A and B are shown apart, each in its own frame.
Chain A
Amino acid sequence: MGRYILKRLLLLIPILLGVSAIIFALKTVTPGDPARQILGNDATEEQVQAKREELGLNDPVVVQYVRYIAGICHGDFGESYRTGEPVIKEIIPRLGTSAKITLGAVAIGAVLGVLLGVISALKKYTWVDSLVLVVSMFFQSVPEFVVGLVLIMIFAVNLHLLPASGIETWKGYILPMLTIGVSSIANYTRITRSSMLEVLGEDYIRTARAKGQTEANIVYRHAMRNTMIPVAQSVGTHLGNALGGGMVLETVFSVPGVGKYIVDAITARNYPSVLGGALMIAIILVVINLIVDISFVVIDPRLKTTIIAGGSKKPKKAKAA
């Protein structure tokens, strides 16, 4: 297990190199000069050039890239062009905010999705089943920012129950969480439904029924645990997606998270902040995936071979009789 974790952590290196290389490449083809952005439109060409020199932007891209990577090796993610503060110092508190919203959103999505999925499976091929699928698919189909604005209109503008933006109080977290959460319900519902149907068809469930167990006991004590394995897998994947994909929503709800930080940095051509934010998200995604994989092994030891050995262990050939 230790070797596996180490191997996965070492995988971070090529991933981070890849992410940073892509962003550096994009930086070279993206129009808009950071030096001009910092100095303003009135700055002369000479002043812009001097600023570019100061920021090291006149060096070849490869030199800039190597310098950046060398900095990261020493824990230096660069300084924000906008504030002059170390990028890492600006990102850490924002990561906390984004993490709270992501966790809340995934919890909302998973709880509602599993509930609806179980109902759908138990009422399969009825109007209830169809209704659940249609509703959950609706939320998945509508873009998240539209869902966000509609929820603002309902809960903030009309009902005055929740704030339309900001996170000054705990109430401010609810709408962003709800928006991301409801968009993922369909995913959990589908997975739970198909997994539950599959499990309910297993021999041990038939045996339980034969032994006179109640339906509730069968569903919640016997079927549920095995149903949860693919759902747990999906939660892990969705955690990463929600963290990285919350950029638009953080802008809509004016949430000071890492997503809004990256969006603002892109607009300002604040490349150290864009890079720092993207690399942080990449690191977190890798770590989340690692934790999720390890948790599978804890939940279901049978998966140890598949996950830790990467499915590479060849099954022993049965000896010919």
Chain B
Amino acid sequence: MKLRKIAAFALAAAMTVSTAFTASAAAVGANEDAPNTEKTDETLTIALASEPATLAPSLSGTAANEAQIVSSTYLDTLVRQDQNTGEVLPGLATEWEWIDDTHCKFTIRDDAKCYNGDMLTADDVAWCVNEVWVALNASNDTGMFVTGAEADGNTVTIEYNVASPALLGMMSWTNFNIMSQADVEAAGGIEQATKTPFIGTGPYRFVEWKNTEYIKVERNEEYWDPDYNGYFKEIIFKFIGEPASREANVESGDIDVAADMPVIQASAFVDSDAVKTVLFNYGQNGHLWYNMTEGHPTADVNVRKAIDLALDFDNIAIVGTAGTAPSATGYIDEGFYHNDTYTAEERAVNIEEAKALLEEAGYGDGLTLETTYMQETETVHAVVKECLRQIGIDLVMNPTDVPTFVQTANSGDYDIMMIGEWMRDRIPSAFPFIRWDNIHGFHMGGPQTTTDELDGLVHSFIEESDDDAAKEILVQIEQIMKDDCIVSNLYPEVKAAIINKDLKGFTTLERGYVNPINFYK
């Protein structure tokens, strides 16, 4: 038993040390290069992890990652947002003005040409908001916080059903894309436009979707933005599910960008001369949620605190981020509204105190807990398992895929579960797991994770117009979460990509999606 324990720890240590070493070399980040200034006839090939189910996600009522990445090339948004500073910049709207907390008036530019040749108008934008965002997307962010829109001359006023300073920035997200009714009809109607999206005013135009093989777009030579230069004439998206194969394709020169690489795998290529590795933080902290539903040992706050004390957050962060970031000291990523909720002493491993808490909870003889996780966090969970073994907790690990992971999270069939929250601003959907309006049936942590007080604070945090006041509210929220040990904050999650060594201009969209249109050589 002792030998097994030593071997397991040695394995975890070796894993962390090797990861730290490989990642300590120079890995470039995202959004760092100067903008491109020239156009060529070259083709850029991007490998995605899977094929999108739709090429016009808002028309399909979804917001799936791959579909967002592809459609961002031909569908524009009202505004853009600098991913480094958070500054909101003009897009299809040249200017905007808040009429009150829930109404924003956008002035629509008059030089954006749709795919069918018509110029985009404010009426088109109003149609898109009412008939696409609201009518087709009630179940996701695109339609959830918008009531409707009304056009007046060259302006359109959008009404929101919630007040939040983040709403304007959200209008830059790819799912809030704009299309005209005439364009959609010319493309064959809503259903056909999801398959052959000959629509949009974007910097590229859809050319062809050869099912299971590739999607091709070409540069829009009539794009309205004179400052934008698309270096590549064509962009081809391919679908290669196996990460090792995606990487090999970059090395062989068959593709230029391997998106969504597992961090551990990508970090192995940091020192490679053949490819360039991009590792970047995108504003999401990983959290370990406790199932606080009655009947689960984790319903006892002493068990949760014991686990929190046993976790070696530094090593977990090294494995989870490939050594690129320290462990999280608060619920929210350091980019926005961050609080250092925990001191270094509080984050230190304390096995004796953890064991005492378990004893107090009646689990002095040890206990078995269960977790379900996605394959890419296997190594993180291996370290968590070993940490918990130190205090007599046997963690049963159930690796799974996305659909099962989501179902398990929603059904509550777990004791602890790792899931991150992306929060780069005070968006209306912030803190989804501790809000009464989200906890219909089960949700992460179970209904007991929240209280009227916590729920009220979350809503105040989102709606507060004063930034400093919002930060004060956040301190209160995090203190309650800390006192009840609702979650353990693990580390800022990192995304990775492997790209052609000559490629520059790796930029991101919201949530760290790779932005296909700014690459150049």
A-side residues, CB < 8 A to B, are: 30-34, 36-45, 47, 82-84, 90, 94, 145, 149, 152-153, 156-157, 160, 163-168, 251-254, 256, 260-261, 263-264, 267-269
**Min distance, Cβ B494 to any Cβ of chain A, angstroms:** 21
**Min distance, Cβ A11 to any Cβ of chain B, angstroms:** 32
Asked if B407 CB lies within 8 Å of chain A CBs, one says yes
Within B390-429, the residues touching A (CB, 8 Å) are 400-404, 406-408, 410
B-side residues, CB < 8 A to A, are: 47, 50-51, 53, 61-64, 138-141, 144, 191, 195, 211-214, 238-242, 244-245, 248-249, 251-255, 274, 400-404, 406-408, 410, 440-441
Contacts A90-B211, A166-B254, A254-B245 known; A36 to B139 CB distance under 8 Å? no
What's the Cα separation between A269 and B401 when bound, in Å?
A: 10
Docked-complex contact B245 and A260, CB < 8 angstroms: no
**Min distance, Cβ B408 to any Cβ of chain A, angstroms:** 7
Contacts A31-B404, A32-B404, A254-B245 known; A156 to B144 CB distance under 8 Å? no
List B contacts of A256 (CB < 8 A). 211-213
Docked-complex contact B240 and A165, CB < 8 angstroms: yes
What's the Cα separation between A1 and B211 when bound, in Å?
A: 42
Which of A31, A33, A34, A45 has most B Cβ within 10 Å?
A31
What's the Cα separation between A109 and B84 when bound, in Å?
A: 55
Docked-complex contact A164 and B50, CB < 8 angstroms: no
What's the Cα separation between A160 and B403 when bound, in Å?
A: 38
Contact of A164 among B191, B249, B404, B441 (CB under 8 A): B249
Docked-complex contact A32 and B139, CB < 8 angstroms: no
Contact of A152 among B50, B51, B248, B253 (CB under 8 A): B248
What's the Cα separation between A40 and B66 when bound, in Å?
A: 13
List A contacts of B64 (CB < 8 A). 40
Contacts A164-B245, A263-B241 known; A156 to B254 CB distance under 8 Å? yes
Docked-complex contact A264 and B440, CB < 8 angstroms: no
What's the Cα separation between A260 and B248 when bound, in Å?
A: 19
**Min distance, Cβ B190 to any Cβ of chain A, angstroms:** 12
What's the Cα separation between A82 and B47 when bound, in Å?
A: 20
**Min distance, Cβ B269 to any Cβ of chain A, angstroms:** 12
Contacts A40-B139, A83-B211, A163-B254 known; A33 to B248 CB distance under 8 Å? no
List A contacts of B241 (CB < 8 A). 251, 254, 260, 263-264
Contacts A39-B139, A156-B252 known; A165 to B245 CB distance under 8 Å? yes
Contacts A166-B254, A260-B212, A267-B401 known; A36 to B407 CB distance under 8 Å? yes
Smallest CB gap from A145: residue in B: B242
List A contacts of B406 (CB < 8 A). 32, 36, 41
List A contacts of B144 (CB < 8 A). 42
List B contacts of A41 (CB < 8 A). 406
List B contacts of A47 (CB < 8 A). 138-139
What's the Cα separation between A153 and B406 when bound, in Å?
A: 36
Docked-complex contact A160 and B440, CB < 8 angstroms: no
Docked-complex contact A39 and B62, CB < 8 angstroms: yes
What's the Cα separation between A145 and B241 when bound, in Å?
A: 13
**Min distance, Cβ B74 to any Cβ of chain A, angstroms:** 20
Contacts A36-B403, A43-B139, A261-B212 known; A157 to B440 CB distance under 8 Å? no
Contacts A42-B139, A165-B254 known; A149 to B239 CB distance under 8 Å? no
Smallest CB gap from B441: residue in A: A45
| 21 sample A-B contacts, Cβ–Cβ < 8 Å, listed by A number | A30-B404, A33-B407, A37-B403, A38-B62, A39-B62, A40-B139, A42-B140, A42-B141, A45-B440, A83-B195, A84-B191, A157-B252, A164-B249, A166-B213, A167-B213, A254-B240, A256-B211, A260-B212, A263-B241, A264-B50, A267-B50
List A contacts of B140 (CB < 8 A). 40, 42-43
What's the Cα separation between A253 and B245 when bound, in Å?
A: 7
List A contacts of B62 (CB < 8 A). 38-40
What's the Cα separation between A149 and B211 when bound, in Å?
A: 24
Docked-complex contact A44 and B440, CB < 8 angstroms: yes
Contacts A163-B252, A165-B249 known; A252 to B139 CB distance under 8 Å? no
List A contacts of B238 (CB < 8 A). 165-166, 254
**Min distance, Cβ A174 to any Cβ of chain B, angstroms:** 14
Smallest CB gap from A257: residue in B: B212
Contact of A94 among B50, B195, B212, B253 (CB under 8 A): B212
Docked-complex contact A31 and B408, CB < 8 angstroms: yes
Docked-complex contact B213 and A149, CB < 8 angstroms: no
**Min distance, Cβ B397 to any Cβ of chain A, angstroms:** 16
What's the Cα separation between A165 and B240 when bound, in Å?
A: 8
Docked-complex contact B51 and A264, CB < 8 angstroms: yes
Docked-complex contact B50 and A149, CB < 8 angstroms: no
**Min distance, Cβ B401 to any Cβ of chain A, angstroms:** 6
List A contacts of B408 (CB < 8 A). 31
Which of A38, A153, A165 has most B Cβ within 10 Å?
A165
What's the Cα separation between A30 and B404 when bound, in Å?
A: 8
**Min distance, Cβ B365 to any Cβ of chain A, angstroms:** 31
List A contacts of B402 (CB < 8 A). 267
List A contacts of B242 (CB < 8 A). 145, 251-252, 254
What's the Cα separation between A167 and B407 when bound, in Å?
A: 36
Docked-complex contact B53 and A31, CB < 8 angstroms: no
List B contacts of A165 (CB < 8 A). 47, 238, 240, 245, 249, 254-255
List B contacts of A260 (CB < 8 A). 212, 241
Q: 20 other contacts beyond A36-B403, A152-B245, A254-B241, with CB at 8 A cut-off?
A: A31-B407, A36-B410, A42-B144, A44-B440, A83-B211, A149-B244, A149-B248, A156-B248, A156-B254, A157-B248, A160-B252, A164-B252, A165-B245, A165-B255, A166-B238, A166-B254, A167-B213, A251-B241, A254-B239, A268-B53
List A contacts of B248 (CB < 8 A). 149, 152-153, 156-157, 164
What's the Cα separation between A187 and B440 when bound, in Å?
A: 57
List A contacts of B138 (CB < 8 A). 47
